[in-house]
Amino acid sequence: MKPHLSHRPRRLARRVTVAGMAAAALTCTMAAPAVAEDHAATMQALKASKTGPGAAVYAGDRTGSWSLQVGTGQLYYDKPIQPTDRFRAASQTKTFTAAVVMQLVDEGKVELDAPIGRYLPGVMTGNGYDENKITVRHLLQQVSGFPEMNPPGAITGGTIALADLVKWAVTGHPSTAEPGAKVQYSNANYWVAGLLVEKVTGMSAAEAITSRIITPLGLTGTRYPQTGDLSIGAPAVHGYLGGWAGPFYAWTDISNFIGYEPSQWATAGAIVSTLKDLSTFYRALFDGKVVSQAALAEMQKTVPLGEEGFGLGLRRWALPCGGYVWGHNGVFPAYLSYTGVTSTGRFVSMMTNNGDWAGMQKVLYSALCEDGTS
């Protein structure tokens, strides 16, 4: 199977047929006492979504948090997925990268509507790309003209410098649209954004994201792995691919397989995190603790694509109970996750450990709309 981090944007999750779900577990840590019945609709949606070995939801509002689990984070063990268990956050990395770029905008070191050639001359030229037309905003909003792509060594492994990854993307994948013309979700946009961060800060992208976001927010379960580090770190959620072996449906643990080489995914998808840390990050972002309110407002300027709105490192979905949820998803064969927040302070972070989740959207809606409001 070809690893697919980028995830086509028209749907929050893709359909999959999997084996049955294991027993369910509930944990509540709210300001007021809570019991399972308080979140029965979300638990029902979680159980009915028929994911792989395990799935979990961590949600709440400004008064407290709660979590739900079904199945296990490691086959053959009774290990429900906890909010502090680590997994590969995949494309949720993009929001971290966008936030660092917007910090540089706040600092006057980057202009959002400046051409990328001002900062990275000679990088986005040829093959239909024009460094004088493609802006920083175009990259963050997925409207630069890059087509969808996965890294060159997603199957074979091997390390690669970010500059070489960008060169491979530009020279090997002709532009398929004029800058600003349409959304084309591509990892390459965020590889270039990462290269911009490195050029302006003088740090590696990993150092910049760590020193500017991970450490200040106290995200102790989050890290940007170094080149060559395929590990997740304990406590880890094991990721699985499922398939038929004769009459049996079997799961293969691919948590540390070679396709996870961090340098291949880089600023588009390298980060390892937890449900709790991801919710902390997105909540801090919307509370003005990561970028200025002006910068956040720019991140929330969207272009439409189907039911979604694409901002700068953020994706917006309308909720059935009114309002919107802002966040990002992460997709890889063994993991699928999503984190989002609302304007009223509600939040949700959820994941499954088989990389596909037919009922993810229903779980999201249930978690954020339990009392009929968002």
Kindly list the catalytic residues: 91
> Measuring CA to CA, which residue among 121, 67, 150, 141 is closest to residue 367?
67
> Measuring CA to CA, which residue among 89, 18, 22 is closest to residue 236?
89
> Measuring CA to CA, which residue among 280, 229, 279 is closest to residue 255?
229
Parallel/antiparallel/unpaired status of strands 315-318 and 324-332? antiparallel
Q: What is the distance between the alpha carbons of residues 159 and 200, in angstroms, rounded to a whole number?
A: 23
Q: Which residues have CB under 8 Å from 95's CB, separation 6+?
A: 281, 282, 285, 313, 314, 327, 328
> Measuring CA to CA, which residue among 22, 68, 65 is closest to residue 42?
68
DSSP element (H, E) containing 341: strand 335-341
